[in-house]
Amino acid sequence: MLSGAQKLQYLKGALRGDALQLIQGYSISDANYQEAWNVLQRRYQNNRELVRTQIVKFVSQTALKEKSFLGLRSLVDNSRSCVLALKTMGYEIAVADENYWISFLLMEKLDS
């Protein structure tokens, strides 16, 4: 298990731009990791925007113009990615009879 100092070091190494600037002043220590993480969450953890982004990604997928295994696989993978992202945010979305809108949106993306 990583210490807080190690986590903060990795976090700083992974961030760029405004996010890095936001926590740049925190020295590497176990105690500062949680503080830096909380600052980032307050700034960037906007659930409404995160959900909106996944819905836009889902409905904006390119419709298949022709029968294509790769195109179909891409559609399935992208759709699954969106549904899983929403699930991790606490929104359970099952592709079942009660979710006609998911089936409808996916069918609209298939070639005619």
CA distance 83 to 86: 5
Its pTM surpasses 0.95: no
Residue 101 pLDDT > 90: no
The count of other CB atoms within 10 Å of the CB of residue 23 is 19
18-52: pLDDT as tens digits: 999 999 999 999 999 999 999 999 999 888 999 99
Taking the domains of the chain in order of start, what are their residue ranges?
4-44, 47-109
Among 3, 35, 6, 10, which residue's Cα sits nearest to residue 22? Answer: 35
